[in-house]
Amino acid sequence: MMKNAGRDVGGAPDIAVRQLSVWYNQMPALQNINLYLGAGQVMAIIGPSGCGKSTFLRVLNRMIERLPSVRVEGAVRIGHFDVFDDHVDVTGLRRAVGMVFQHPNPFPMTIFDNVAYGPRIFGIKSSAQLRKTVEDSLKQASLWDEVRGKMRRNAETLSGGQQQRLCIARALAVHPEVLLLDEPTASLDPVSSAKIEELIVQFKSHYTMIIVTHNLQQAARVSDVVAFFEQGRLIEMGYTQDIFTAPKEKRTEEFLTGRFD
Amino acid sequence: MLKIDKAMDQVTYVSMALFAAIWIVLIAIIVSGAWHFVQTHGFVSSVASFQWDPLQSHFGIGSFIVGSITVTLLALVLAIPGSLALGVLGSRILQGKWQQQFVRFLTVFVSVPSVLYGWWGLTVVVPGIRRLSHTSGYGPLSASIVLALMIVPTFSILSLNALRHVPESYIEGSIGLGASEDQTLWHIILPAARPRIVQAALIAVARGLGETIAVQMVIGGQVRITSLLHPASTLTTQLLTDLPLLPVGVPGHHVLDFMALWLLILMTVIVWLQYRLRGSGT
Ligand SMILES: Nc1ncnc2c1ncn2[C@@H]1O[C@H](COP(=O)(O)OP(=O)(O)OP(=O)(O)O)[C@@H](O)[C@H]1O
Ligand SMILES: [Mg+2]
């Protein structure tokens, strides 16, 4: 998109969603979503609880398929991945599309093993290479200084904010191109939240990112574009500044100003 | 209302005290009998000896201790793969109502009386081993197979619960990184469930160690253990055999207390291990 002209977007892909609908047990959760996100951009998804934000993220890496009685229609393209094509490499897709969850979910193992988990799964055995990947990823997630020399500690001994950055490092270790963040700071204190936000800003243009957040200031601070969802529909999407200063839809305005029922 | 509550409380306390008292008396009888035995016959010499002929004052219970431990551990080893496989099937492969049906199905086998497992051992396992090994077919191996089959239902229900207990967030974390369901099972789910699975194994071991009838029916009842394929005995089966031979008052009766004490010791070790291993888990 225009805004990205001249910026290095590396391998970050764009995301195109066409006529996407999702049902849980015949109940619609997303209805006819169409949107486009440029390479290396950050999109914030906002909207009331239950409007389908998490569902939307779960569609993008096909995590949605693990739930019983789900039906998905429409098409999603992430870079060269035709996400719902029968022949798509789901493992490769999930590797390229990292996900960070609302509650930090480190594995019950050491800090090192958490970050090394992905690379090991993908066949890296050399310990020198693993150590380098782990160190790089932890540095990228701004956690290295806090955990160096403590690599053998159980990850669950870290604070909530550190755990969340560990989960980010774990995702980065498999060299994703897209990051999906589902309310990544919702369970954290303000200082830890600020650190995560800082990371997102740093990552800008290196990764294409989608962040779900209930914190409107956060959305304003980190995103290039904002999408407002309501009851499974995409009500409005636009540049962050435009959405916050001059929303086109009445519902968006009501939501942003808190006059929302 | 209050009066009834109080009365109920009292009934509860009294029955609890009674229960505890009975237990203490039982253990005291065993311990004092065993003490009596150890003073006359020695601890080490009885445990280390494999010669058993109580009417001739040979009280070596080494064979029975070895028999109990061998049969139980071998049964555990045989039961582990099947139980884990059933646990995985019931927790991760079957979905929704099939899961419940599966647990119900396993529960039926938990409640089958042990004499029926022994019967099945007599009619299937012993002849099978006989044909394969050209021995009588009675012995610790047959006993282990029967015992394994007996503990599989309990063990697999407990493993199933252990596996189901693994937080979905770990699994999503792994799948989200691009790991397959299989990789997630091996690298995340099984390790995360391990403390509870170990506990399940120990409960299964405790059950196996105490089992008498089913083992007695297929182990052959010889007093000296020589191999897995030749008749032998365990602490429990020999206790059962010699109770009529050594009634209270007969010299040598106290060796039975000593054997019972050994069962209690082995059980205590299992319970202790259970606490130890649970403490170190997640
Ligand atoms: N596994 C599921 N089975 C059935 N219905 C579901 C499931 N997950 C979500 N839903 C329903 O789909 C709708 C959208 O849910 P979703 O979790 O995507 O909302 P959300 O916008 O992320 O909400 P929140 O802000 O509370 O996280 C809701 O009505 C929810 O009840
Ligand atoms: Mg959500």
- ipTM exceeding 0.85? yes
Find the closest chain A residue to B168 by CA distance: A105
Atom of ligand 1 nearest to the CA of A69: 3
**Which residues, numbered 129 to 188 in chain B, qualify as contacts with chain A under a Cβ-Cβ cut-off of 8 Å?**
167, 169-170, 172-180, 183, 187-188
**pLDDT digits over B155-175, tens only?**
999 999 999 999 999 999 999
CATH of the domain at A59: 3.40.50.300
**pLDDT tens, chain A, 261 aa long:** 444 443 445 679 999 999 999 999 999 999 999 999 999 999 999 999 999 999 999 999 999 998 888 999 999 999 999 999 999 999 999 999 999 999 999 999 999 999 999 999 999 999 999 999 999 999 999 999 999 999 999 999 999 999 999 999 999 999 999 999 999 999 889 998 999 999 999 999 899 999 999 999 999 999 999 999 999 999 999 999 999 998 999 999 999 988 766
- Report how far residue A96's alpha carbon sits from residue A104's, in angstroms, rounded to the nearest whole number: 20
Question: What are the start-end ranges of the H helices in B48-139?
Answer: 62-88, 96-110, 114-120, 126-133
The rounded average pLDDT for each run of 10 residues, N- to C-terminus, in chain B (282 residues) is: 76 90 92 91 87 87 94 95 95 88 93 94 96 94 96 94 94 95 94 92 90 92 90 93 86 90 92 76 44
Q: Which residue has the tokens 């496989």?
A: B85
- Report how far residue A204's alpha carbon sits from residue A206's, in angstroms, rounded to the nearest whole number: 5
CA-nearest residue for atom 24, ligand 1, is A49
State both tokens at B233.
């005995």
B214 CA from centroid of ligand 1 (Å): 53
- A146 part of a folded domain: yes
- A250 part of a folded domain: yes
Q: What is the DSSP string of B205-266?
A: HHHHHH--HHHHHHHB--SS---TTS-B--HHHHHHHHTTTS-TTSTTTHHHHHHHHHHHHH
Pairing mode, strands B52-53 and A233-239: unpaired
pLDDT score, position A10 = 64
Which ligand is closest to the CA of A55, given by its number? 1
Tell me if A117 and B178 make a contact (CB, 8 A cut-off): no
Q: Which residue has the tokens 């019931």?
A: B90
B161: number of Cβ within 10 Å: 17
Find the closest chain A residue to B94 by CA distance: A68
CA-nearest residue for atom 30, ligand 1, is A50
B175: number of Cβ within 10 Å: 23
| Separation in Å, CA A218 to CA A146, A187, A215, B17 | 25, 14, 5, 62
Q: What range does the domain containing A78 cover?
A: 15-256
- A10 part of a folded domain: no
CA-nearest residue for atom 23, ligand 1, is A50
Cβ neighbours of B98 in A, within 8 Å: none
Tell me if B177 and A170 make a contact (CB, 8 A cut-off): yes
Q: Are A101 and A167 in contact (CB under 8 A)?
A: yes
Give, rounded to a whole angstrom, the gap between the first and last alpha carbons of chain B: 44
Find the closest chain A residue to B95 by CA distance: A68
Q: What is the DSSP string of A161-181?
A: HHHHHHHHHHHHTT--SEEEE
* Closest Cα in chain A, distance from residue B84 (Å): 21
CB-defined contacts A:B, below 8 A: 66
B192 inside 8 A of chain A by CB: yes
A205: number of Cβ within 10 Å: 18
No. of helices (H) and no. of strands (E), chain A: 10, 10
Ligand 1 binding pocket mutation candidate from A27, A55, A216 (most atoms within 8 A of CB): A55
For residue A108, the surrounding DSSP H or E stretch is none
* Closest Cα in chain B, distance from residue A7 (Å): 28
- A6 part of a folded domain: no
Cβ neighbours of A121 in B, within 8 Å: 174, 177-179, 183, 187
Number of domains in chain A: 1
Tell me if B191 and A109 make a contact (CB, 8 A cut-off): yes
**pLDDT digits over B103-148, tens only?**
999 999 999 999 999 999 999 999 999 999 999 999 999 999 999 9
Q: What are phi and psi of A28, to 5 degrees?
A: -70, 135
